[in-house]
Amino acid sequence: MKRLLSVILLAIALVTVAFGRPAWAGDEVSGAKVFSANCAACHMGGNNVIMANKTLKKEALEKYQMNSLDAIMTQVKNGKNAMPAFGGRLTAAQIEDVAAYVLGQSGKGW
């Protein structure tokens, strides 16, 4: 009986690890606050008021190869074109959180 229980628990653990939802390194709840305070003026609802085609929507993130946590974190930290760099204004944790929020929202369709 103990052996059967061990096998069942092991199977549950393996299924959970193999098919579990991937976790973002950042905290989306905190990222939502950072986004609201720093990004929403230009990116409300995942849009882009400066460069209309470069939105934060899933399709645009994929098209411009910005669909990873690292890519978004680099963009937020260093800026590019009309987007200012936030590396001097936000902590590394805040940048990671806002990147997780953007990825999460893009997956939900904003």
Residue positions forming the annotated binding site? 39, 42-43, 83
Pair 87, 77: CB distance under 8 Å:
yes
Distance CA 17, CA 20 (A): 5
What's the CA gap between 35 and 44, in Å, rounded?
9
Annotated binding site for heme c, which residues?
A: 39, 42-43, 83
